[in-house]
Amino acid sequence: MILPVSSLVSVTPGVLAAGGTTNLLNGLVFSTNTALSSGLSTFTTAAEVAATCGAESMEARMASIYFAGYTNAQDLPQTLYFYQLPATPEDTDYTAALTNAAAASADWCAFAFAQEPDATAKTAIAAWMPTNPNRYWGIVQDADANILLAESGCFGNIVTEQATPGLTCLCNTDGNGTLAAALCLGWAASINPQRNAGRTTLMFRNNGGVSAADITATQAQALLQNGYSFYGSYKSGDSTFSFLNNGAVSGAFAWADSYLNQIWMTSSFQSDLLTLFSAVGQIPYAVQGDTLLATSVQNTIDTAVAFGAIQPNVTLSAAQAQVVNAQAGRSIADTLATRGWYLLPGASTASAATRAKRWPVQARFFYMDGQSVQSISLATVEVQ
């Protein structure tokens, strides 16, 4: 049995609010299709899924969208997992399947459902997410007509208010949400942190195999207020644009791209530090230890900066500057804003008790996400 790396290297992602291709980003689909093998199955092409589940099956349709990624993607998904659910799954079947799939493979993080879970199953899935905080991204479609009504107290509204980590809720009132979920999975699996300026938001991603939701402008606004994303169609003059709007995720990280960035960065930091432990004879609780720790994670930091997960030259508010300086125990705000990150390795500042017991070093890494513009209000002025 594989032991959890977190027992030796624990990386805890956090958010300070205002005021090569990574295998672990592969997608997983839970399905009741009886043609699937029991437990976890691995597929590398859409044709393989169609041959197993049937060419007209929802699983095959999802796989076709997934492996195609999104329009203009520089990299495409390589692997898609399926996990077979019972034909008529109970609430506990979903959480058991999530737990079992997590134990069976560590190289997936995003999951969706070929058949929409019922309301109580959705609640069970939401309850499972905090047991693995900020490690998995769940995409849950919802056909409840109430999601089209503002402040309806629906599932998306609840997980948003409860700050459940890592759920994106999709409109499925006309049945198109399941394929939109496949697009979300394909977008995640197309992320390649090794690409310079490779970061993309989930909003504005499109795939010709997904149909736009049949909703009014008022309903679209209600969906966003209730914590739902949707695949919408917009017309400007003679041009029509269809894409995913808006890519929010419940919990502190707020947006899908920010959420997935911290997943692969956490994994990469863990790998860096375990490699260091294996390569050197000693890491002293001293300045030399700080240097070893800092050097070991520098490549991940540089990769994140080049990719766009970390952004330099982002202005902190006065309140943010005060908080980061207080948390760091020193003035770091200016460097953090200019460079985009600040690392406190923590070896040299550990207490005598920590040294004696060889307890974990309390390192801290601050970084600027930078976020992304997703709407513009442009004023045009004629000068006569």
Whether 93 is in a domain gets the answer yes
Residue 139: inside a domain: yes
57 secondary structure, DSSP code: S
Are residues 246 and 324 both part of a single domain?
Answer: no
Q: Determine the Cα–Cα distance for residues 95 and 250; give it in Å rounded to an integer.
A: 19
Query: Structural domain tally of the chain?
Result: 2
Same domain, 115 and 221: yes
Give the domain-ending residue among 243, 259, 275.
259
| pTM, 2 dp | 0.93
Q: pLDDT per residue over 44-72, tens digit each?
A: 999 999 999 999 999 999 999 999 999 99
297 and 235 within one domain = no
Which pLDDT value is given to residue 4?
60
Same domain, 249 and 288: no
pLDDT of res. 20 = 38
Q: Domain containing 296: what range?
A: 284-367
Is 274 a member of any domain? Answer: no
pLDDT of residue 12: 61
Which residue shows structure tokens 């990574």? 22
Exposure letters 348-376 (e unless 16+ CB within 10 A, then b): bebeeebeeeeeebebbbbbbbeebeeee
Is residue 321 in a domain? yes
Whether 144 is covered by a domain: the verdict is: yes
199 and 309 part of one domain: no
Regions of the chain with pLDDT less than 50: 1, 16-21
Q: What is the pLDDT of residues 313-353, one digit of tens each?
A: 999 999 999 999 999 999 999 999 999 999 999 999 999 99
145 and 240 in a single domain? The answer is: yes
DSSP letter at 107 equals S
Q: Could you tell me if 304 and 238 lie in one domain?
A: no
Q: Kindly state whether residues 100 and 195 are assigned to the same domain.
A: yes
Judge whether 129 lies within some domain. yes
Q: Is the dihedral of CA 235, 239, 244, 245 positive or negative?
A: negative
Pair 39, 177 in one domain: yes
Cα–Cα distance measured from residue 64 to residue 246, given in angstroms and rounded to the nearest whole number: 23
Indicate if 50 and 130 belong to the same structural domain.
Answer: yes
Q: What is the pLDDT of residue 8?
A: 57
Domain identity same for 130 and 255: yes
Residue 5 domain-assigned? no
* Residues 72 and 143 occupy one common structural domain: yes
